[in-house]
Chain A
Amino acid sequence: MKPKNWMKLEFPSESPNVMFARTAVAVFASQLDFTLDELEDIKVAVSEAVSNCVIHGYQGSVGNIVLEVAYDEQFISITVEDFGKGIPDIDQAKEAGYSSIPEERMGLGLVFMHEYMDEVLIDSRVGEGTKVLMKKKAPAPVS
């Protein structure tokens, strides 16, 4: 289905951009009739996905993150992509509490994304990067 609206951002994997990314997506998503709680949930999911790019995708070095958002009558779709390390074992990465790097996020990044979005698909290739597609059912758009 052709999107009713879309946007695309590209930015370096610097930590201040995590807030920028989730806020930009929330502002864009507010074109739809999501509740404030739902917009906050979308912000958490985006924050986790972009944080994953910074921490795991590029692991201290800086690379580009591409963020694309589009919506139609049925879904808002958010894609977060990095061109970094890639995930060797996606099923292992999805386990709550698992983290490949000793860092204090409690291994909850992917868990939150699955909790707050209706669908999460991960495409990752080691050495090439990771693309996360998250979808949430769209309420009737504000006319």
Chain B
Amino acid sequence: MTTGSHEIRGGDYVHGGSASSSLKESLKKIGVEPADIRRAMIAAYEAEMNVVIHAHNGRMHYVIEDGRLEVEVIDEGPGIPDIDQAMQEGFSTAPPEARDFGFGAGMGLPNIKKNTDRLAIESLVGQGTQVRFTVFLRSQGETGASRTALKIISQACTGCLNCLRVCPTGALRVRNNRPIVLEHLCINCPACVQACTTGALRMATTESEPKARKGACLVVSDSFLTQFGPGISTQQVIKVLSEMGFSELHILEEWKKALRKACILYARENTRLRPVISPLCVAVVNLIQTRFPSLLPHLAPFLSPVEAVRSELGSRALVLSVTCPCQYAAALASASCKDIDVVSVVGLRGAVMRRLATLPREPQHAVEDKPIQAAPADSPSLLEVSGIRHVLRVLEEVENGLLGDVDVLEPCSCDQGCFGSPLFPEDAFVSRHRLAQGHVPQDPLAKAVERTTPLTARPGMRLDADMSQAIDKLARIDALHKALPGTNCGLCGAPSCLAFAEDVVMGRADRRDCARGPHDTERTP
């Protein structure tokens, strides 16, 4: 956590901006993406100069933590009688002196709003004004997952090393019973969360119940509806959710269906590359960016369902109940998060359970006869693959050109798709079966949203920016790997001897961390 606090002197135009300059230095030192520094600077400077122009004195206080910048600018001054009026573009009460310097265009507060993700203004006439804003920050060079969405509780780690073995990209290290995530490799899939038996690795959301409020839309996954046992139908759950006090309820299944339709249509119109890969699971998209960048052209150019919801409903306040770290990161990753609250299913489930306890049990009955539809003659061949191990193998097959007979591939990192999220108590197969029996109402707003910014490979995989250095490092990794025992025991804290060799060459580990195997010195018998 980084903090800073600076005085602002009213009327001091020459020194105005020094607080913003100091904030900029902190952001640069942390390595924040330049575009986010830019937004923060516009907002900070406008807020700081507002104090210089209008108030007697003031203070800027900032906190940088958890990928967020929170700034507070408080002043003692005349205050703002009508904040809505002050927010209007072109409205200004700046004195002539300020206008000489080019201020007074009436764009200050609108500029702050435009460049921040949250803004709150409070003011008392005759006392002063308080401006508080939030800017979500990304690290320089990040693509896709803005931050690893995992929470690590080291005290709970027992060093069992389960997580090391299940991570599909080898992003985990365990040193002295402390799990460490290499962010450039982490794809935000829940494999380690699932494997950890002591709760040392968790999703970053809180598990408290979401607060219902008017004007906010609740978004839940379809798999959430079947988490309440055989005595509760999906209709009952939907009823309870609809009566919790939110304005709208959206269920992700409709958005997943829309995405599937869009991918099938896209495959029909683009016959060159096979298979077309559906961006249904954000963790798989991250995996492709990290380990299979040659498959980026195969990805259908749409947003995942969670991102589509955020894009289409972003003007409303959203409460998103996510089932895995990748959805959490996708929901919050963006320059314009607006009013989005991300909650884990655990809290929401608790809230629903309490309300269900007061209702009579109503087991699931088939809503209508669902005839088994024979696939029409020209339907595309659509392959669903779930479970990260299967996804890895299938993506390798795609790379080797062995899956050309499949039109659309739908890969999910959890078993049976989101049904297999480790946050759900119910078994994935059971849960999926129950949903097929139940009925989800149609959502007229559900649609597939086209991706406007193309996906790129993650730069973090490169050994070195300089090609010749990279080749040299590769040779050293290879040589060291041959000298290691090759048992992948994990005692060094790395998932494999190859990963350890890379850690050593890249300066992340010491050669002597390997407790086994030949060393430079003589082995003691």
| A and B held together in a complex | no
Measured CB to CB, the residues of B under 8 A from A are none
Measured CB to CB, the residues of A under 8 A from B are none
